[in-house]
Structure 1
């Protein structure tokens, strides 16, 4: 392992930093230290772990400005969105600190003549393979409940946010967590698949979690299966945003723009396919396109900017290919549809009108500022269109009737359903997908227990 990693600012193409990829020996030492730290941490009383988690929230808030600036520089996120990631992570830390005893404490089971309880015990060192689109939140939504439960973390973050990954490791130490409990591996991209496979087969790695592409998820899931290890996969998404004819149209349009173009559209769990009742489709589309055209695209550090660049040039080119293939297949280009001239990885906010499946931007996951609008003849047709995807993260339905909206959501298989609200993640409720969007859950009680050994104790007094 001798290659290097160079991080590049997607705003202007300037080099930020270069990191030497670790040798095999450095990775081995990191795993050994992480394993030892995890074993010791798992034996640390819960109240001491909770104290560290509370301090983590304090450190995150103290370092918010510097961390937000770094993530914006590395992947182009609007600075206010970057700060929002950090604050959401701090709130999540406090949530788990407040609820750790309830989620991890022994549960008594009433069985006549037997003293029985269920215990949630740490499992050790967990490998986390994380993406670049939410450099702080993607890591923290897994790492916070995992360390609260008594586990350690070996983090393999995306190379283009290496600086952010190393900063997070430092923040855990500053919060009082043991050295090496959370370790960032610095490994160049060509070496990652082989390394991940090797780590999953290592007896010191207890489990693995991945947020990323379906291709990466298939590789990690199969490696975990071969080694009989727990895995949690959060993969792609192509969420439907369904607007029925009795919806509050201005409110739905406002939410639709935010739901699609937040983070420059670079999110698994966000609205991508807008399915609108035929009778209001013209009005929705007109208002939606007008607001998309009005988005202020530019320097993500500027206060007035609403959308920054995409994180990398190859991602922009891939998105443009999807748009061009969609137009060639019959989609109508309503706005955007091209890269923005000049330095940086900018792509114009884009809206396509489509008839439904058979168009790339409808069938595939689009990871960038591209929205597709399709018309539904009736509620049954809305269910058909919303269901016409291999993914299943979430769905958002807008209607004046909760009963009608619920009927739509129950007709579509997803990990979460939102009514008159855009999709989101929140520490208080489980997060995860179905179908090609993965399996397992993060956040809430499900998330903190995913990487624990649910152990039954059954004790009978001797006669």
Structure 2
């Protein structure tokens, strides 16, 4: 059977080798999850909640070894791994505490208000999730927690490079008492994955990744009449408007571009700065990016670790090279360091225009594109000039003005005002346009894969 290897991107050390499953083995995993689901669905939402709380407890108990595993597999800063584990625990707790009320039956009137109706949110079966490597625990957890509360089972195909993290998450869930096989992790190739989407026991498909991959997964799901939720890439724009506080803008623009080594779908990637603030912002921002120490991701003082793999390093390097060939200017970084590991420095590009990867595409690494705008209106126009629409940000001291722009004009699923952050259990997460469809978190994810069943009573 074919094998895959996990490799430490900081040291190039081979960590582990895993055997790829056959189609028959993967199908058996789906069938086992379906059998576990048939019993799990019999529990009430309130009866499921303690299982989720216990998983949160187990995650916290294992936070150090989980964080180190993620660092070794994908180069994530160890301290960021600790934050990720805590977020996962909070998601399980939020779901346990709020799910029973959010999913409880609703009484409604029908037939002119004379008769009763009941809307009940019922589980549908096995949810197949395909997840990327940038948040090895958080990505599967945000689907898993919601669907366990709903009453569904989950099968996970994780990114190859963080296979160990996926398998460890399954172990922790079962150590916490989750019924065996209710959550299964499979190691398969793309052809087998497509066949699983078509399997009659798979009732829903969710995927996080690139828009190219999402287009394929969404098409396969649609062809087989399966509902899908897609959270895809983006090149999020952060606007530095006329009355922005430059110090605040620089602080959160640096954080927003470098968080998770620049490998976050909602990273700040394009910085659109009005003419009034352009020189001041660029000068301060370049100075801040130059000061970022790059090094061992296990070191507390490191602020920028390696990219997740050699392949990811080459992609980022080539995107920068192509952008420069088309006229972009490197203001800092851009030089590949002479060292072992998939390290790429904090980089700022200016003179970025349409037709360049830095303008049109998602650079999944620590590369910022600075774009000059005439004024606030022009900045908003440039921000929306993208095939993506996941997140974005606005730096503006007039919060009401920023709120109006965010609500009425920013064509994205999420907007940050004078701050940066990745996700919050109580707020919906997802995008529009080529950034996908559907929502997770904030209770929305719990209703993505349910049967909203109408029951009409005669009295």
TM range (shorter): over 0.9
Q: Shift in Å at residue 407 of structure 1? A: 4.2
Name the CA distance, whole Å, in 2 between partners of 1:25 and 1:435.
Answer: 36
Does residue 365 of structure 1 match 2:362? yes
Q: In 2, Cα distance between the equivalents of 1:430 and 1:392?
A: 14
Name 1:329's counterpart in structure 2. 326
Match of 2:63 in 1: 64
Partner of 1:271, secondary structure, is coil
C-alpha RMSD over aligned residues: 1.1
Match of 2:29 in 1: 30
Unaligned runs of 5+ in 1: none
CA shift digits 1:359-390 (9 cap, x unpaired): 22111110001001111101121012101110
When normalised by structure 2's length, the TM-score is 0.97
Aligned match of 2:340 in 331, 338, 343?
343
Alignment of 1:418-437 (within 5 A): 418-437=416-435
Partner of 2:400: 403
Give the equivalent residue in structure 2 for 1:197: 194
1:263 is the counterpart of 2:267: no
- Encode CA deviations 1:156-184: one digit per residue, 9 max, x unaligned: 00000010000001111011110001100
Match among 415, 429, 434 for residue 413 of structure 2: 415
Distance 2:303 2:55 in 1: 29
Relative to structure 2, which stretch is displaced further, 438-447 or 103-112? 103-112
1:159 corresponding residue in structure 2: 160
Cα deviation, residue 357, structure 1? 2.0
Structure 2 residue runs without a partner (length 5+) = none
Contact 1:271 1:423 in 2 (8 A): no
Give yes or no for the alignment of 1:43 onto 2:74: no
1:377 corresponding residue in structure 2: 374
Q: Deviations over 1:131-178 (max 9, x none)?
A: 000001111111111111111110000000010000001111011110
Give the length in aligned residue pairs. 456
1:424 deviates by 2.6
Q: Determine if contact 1:393/1:416 at 8 Å carries over to the other structure.
A: yes
Instruction: Output the CA distance in 1 between the equivalents of 2:31 and 2:445.
Output: 26
Within 2, Cα distance between the matches of 1:277 and 1:412? 16
Give the match's secondary structure for 1:416.
Answer: coil
Indicate whether 1:447 and 2:448 are aligned: no
Moved more, 217-226 or 418-427: 418-427
**Alignment partners' CA distance in 1, 2:241 and 2:27:** 55
The alignment status of 1:211 with 2:208, answered yes or no, reads yes
Moved over 4 A (4+): none
More displaced 10-residue stretch of structure 1: 348-357 or 68-77? 348-357
Q: Aligned with 2:277: secondary structure?
A: helix
Asked if structure 2 preserves the Cα contact closer than 8 Å seen for 1:122 and 1:149, the reply is: yes
Q: Distance in 2 between matches of 1:202 and 1:358?
A: 40
Indicate conservation of the 8 Å contact 1:22/1:185, yes or no: yes
Q: Is the 8 A contact 1:356 1:385 kept in 2?
A: no
